[in-house]
Structure 1
Amino acid sequence: MKIVDFRSDTITKPTEEMRKAMYEAEVGDDVYGEDPTINKLEELAAEKIGKEAALFVPSGTMGNQLALLTHTERGQEIILEENSHIFMFEVGGLAFLSGLQSKIVKGEDGILNSKVIKEAIRSKNIHFPQTGLICLENTHNMAGGVVTPLNRMEEIFKLAQQHRIPVHLDGARIFNASTYLDCDVKDIAKYCDSVMFCLSKGLCAPVGSILAGDKKFIEKAKKFRKLLGGGMRQAGILAAAGIIALEKMTHRLVKDHENLRKLAFGLDDIKGINIDKDKIQTNILMVNLKDTGYNSDSFVYEMKKEGVLATKIDEHTIRFVTHYHIDEKDIEYTLNVIKRILN
């Protein structure tokens, strides 16, 4: 059976060039700082993102949690958007690992503004926790891949600097954001003190993410990485794929965005399917099924029987994510499958 997998861009597999580079990678012990391929990846990543230093980590969740551990002190409070990945999908790590309290604020399609954040910053009161960190997410997963504009990020960053509060960016898909904004990724990352981005989401690396910031921050984060079991020894085998991801895979993300638009506008023509056209920005699409007579479980099940995989978000919403392994023929096949189901 033909399989078209829209569940996530994490399902991308390494290219042949990556596999060859992994086989040939020069390695050493990264805990001793002696893996030349890891060192090359980290230097490349820091330069790409416009930060002093970078750290290779096994996952985006670890990268985010390292940022929280490094920026904050136990008992502080961090400001997060209510549907952010750090709050929703990281197993309560901010409380369990860092001893932090969450101050949840509502964004506009996941996008925060300086006014909301200013109101959330704690005043000096003996009864209050201290605001220790502001966390942003760009693109925003649960908002359907929506991108925070640069002027909004700049406003928040300036506010944070006035209050001497660091800003961490969960930029898991930051290259999708820069593609949509048609800007250098540095133009986004300059409005935060630290940033995490994924090599395995849409860029085809099999494993890994990058945490970047200034040298002092990364040195501290490296020790916490060891604490969490992230010292991976001869990990240059993995870093070799990450280097190709950064050098060759970021520029093709525009194709994923084009394919998502074809899927979205094709679905919009199908009676009963509802989408928000204003959110068709990057490679994530939220589809509302309420008017089809199906709930998410039954619709996902019917699609799966014909080889199309998607993710349930809630009772009437499913998510599609385009990526390297989805082409125009897959989009056409998927639209035909959905039409057959609804007919």
Structure 2
Amino acid sequence: MIDFRSDTVTQPTQAMRLAMASAEVGDDVYGDDPTVNDLQEMAADMFGFDSALFVSSGTQANLLALMAHCERGDEYICGQQAHNYKFEGGGAAVLGSIQPQPLTNQADGTILLAEIAAAIKPDDVHFARTRLLSLENTIGGKVLPQAYLAQAQTLAFDKGLKIHLDGARVANAAVAQGIKISDITQYFDSVSICLSKGLSAPVGSILLGDERLIAKAVRWRKMLGGGMRQVGILAAAAKLALTEQVERLSEDHANALFLAQGLAEMTAFSVDLQQVQTNIVFATLDKSYDPKRLTQALLKYNIHISAGTTVRFVTHKDISQQDVLHLLKVLTPCLAESRLVK
């Protein structure tokens, strides 16, 4: 099966499987798992933070960050398209009693700094207390400019806010710019990094922050049922995700651009090539085609996509250029099969 739905479908490498099989483990709730401890120390050192915490998912990492930065009745500012606002079940509001203040994401993924400043509430009992600015990089596959991150950090500091990065795909952002991940994370008080997307670990994310924030996150993780026991088995793969899988993301970016160029040549799709910066391609399907029929037609060729008038194709470790060529080849008969009869 060639799966373009997401880079979450990546399979662990053989090296990861071997490392998992031989991992030294202990009870992580007691802080006794040596492999987890090594991963956390390594990640904190790599990305320039005091501490790190290995958690089960990116959603949990973001939620822990929000709950560690904010108290009940506080507010965080984010983008309308932010994952921790739009796609994480409203966890901050439901579980943290934290109010989101979503603002419009511009075409390049940024939020206008003037709009952020205007959204910060005055110190008044009528308003939620604005405590945090949350950004996402990449967002929709787009890379936030380094200059923008520096300006956002300055704004947050000047306004007395903390600043968090949902860096689920921050490795893609770094590789796309030819810089180190730490060049991006330096602008933030906390960062979440997903290890089970393009970096191919089977499970897990890392939350980075200072010792105080991570200590609060540990308590919230336990309360939310996220404490794990002999989880060094997973941390062993996560370590290899950070040390062996980052540089090869450039292959995924090249395959995404190759795919986007091929789709742009088809009258059935509309693609903005300027927006294809990393491993995600958004292609708008012409209204004369049924996306559900297209999805079913492609399954006959063992190709998975997600149905929708805008189709998101995501390239990753388990998709080669030959797989992209195969998709482009079979799209013609599949589109014919999915065309609506007028």
TM-score computed with the length of structure 2 as normaliser? 0.95
User: Do structure 1's residue 307 and structure 2's residue 299 form an aligned pair?
Assistant: no
SS across alignment from 2:123: coil
* Counterpart residue number, 1:117: 116
**Root-mean-square deviation (Å):** 1.1
Shift of 1:136: 0.5
2:294–2:335 contact (8 Å) kept in structure 1: no
2:322 to 319, 326, 329: 329
- Could you tell me how far apart the structure 1 residues matched to 2:126 and 2:274 are? 42
SS across alignment from 1:251: coil
For 1:141-156, what aligned pairs fall within 5 Å after superposition? 143=140, 145-156=141-152
1:117–1:156 contact (8 Å) kept in structure 2: no
* Counterpart residue number, 2:9: 11
Shift of 1:301: 2.2
- Could you tell me how far apart the structure 2 residues matched to 1:219 and 1:157 are? 23
User: Do structure 1's residue 238 and structure 2's residue 231 form an aligned pair?
Assistant: no
User: Do structure 1's residue 92 and structure 2's residue 93 form an aligned pair?
Assistant: no
- When the two structures are aligned, how many residues end up with a matched partner? 335
SS across alignment from 1:311: coil
For 1:139-218, what aligned pairs fall within 5 Å after superposition? 139-140=138-139, 143=140, 145-218=141-214
User: Do structure 1's residue 319 and structure 2's residue 276 form an aligned pair?
Assistant: no
Quick one: which amino acid aligns to residue 118 of structure 1? Answer: A
- Could you tell me how far apart the structure 2 residues matched to 1:40 and 1:128 are? 43
- Could you tell me how far apart the structure 1 residues matched to 2:178 and 2:170 are? 12
2:58–2:194 contact (8 Å) kept in structure 1: yes
User: Do structure 1's residue 342 and structure 2's residue 341 form an aligned pair?
Assistant: no
* Counterpart residue number, 2:340: none
1:102 to 82, 85, 100: 100
Shift of 1:128: 1.4
1:135–1:167 contact (8 Å) kept in structure 2: yes
- After the TM superposition, which parts of structure 1 deviate over 3 Å for at least 4 consecutive aligned residues? none
SS across alignment from 2:92: helix
SS across alignment from 1:90: coil
- Percent of aligned pairs sharing the same letter: 45
1:286 to 282, 285, 288: 282
1:60–1:197 contact (8 Å) kept in structure 2: yes
Shift of 1:305: 2.5
Deviations 1:140-185 (A, max 9, x none): 1xx3x01111111111111000111111110000000001111111
- Could you tell me how far apart the structure 1 residues matched to 2:183 and 2:98 are? 30
Deviations 1:316-343 (A, max 9, x none): 1111100000001100000011122234
- Could you tell me how far apart the structure 1 residues matched to 2:262 and 2:129 are? 49
Please, which runs of 5 or more residues in structure 2 have no aligned partner?
337-342
- Could you tell me how far apart the structure 1 residues matched to 2:332 and 2:48 are? 46
Quick one: which amino acid aligns to residue 330 of structure 2? Answer: V
* Counterpart residue number, 2:261: 265
SS across alignment from 1:7: coil
2:58–2:168 contact (8 Å) kept in structure 1: yes
Shift of 1:45: 0.9
2:60 to 32, 49, 62: 62
- Could you tell me how far apart the structure 2 residues matched to 1:256 and 1:179 are? 11
Quick one: which amino acid aligns to residue 317 of structure 2? Answer: Y
- Could you tell me how far apart the structure 1 residues matched to 2:106 and 2:306 are? 23
Quick one: which amino acid aligns to residue 127 of structure 1? Answer: H
Quick one: which amino acid aligns to residue 332 of structure 1? Answer: L
* Counterpart residue number, 1:24: 22
1:113–1:152 contact (8 Å) kept in structure 2: no
Please, which runs of 5 or more residues in structure 1 have no aligned partner?
none
SS across alignment from 2:133: strand
- Could you tell me how far apart the structure 2 residues matched to 1:304 and 1:120 are? 46
2:68–2:216 contact (8 Å) kept in structure 1: yes
- Could you tell me how far apart the structure 2 residues matched to 1:104 and 1:328 are? 38
- Could you tell me how far apart the structure 2 residues matched to 1:196 and 1:186 are? 13
1:224 to 220, 223, 227: 220
- Could you tell me how far apart the structure 2 residues matched to 1:153 and 1:224 are? 28
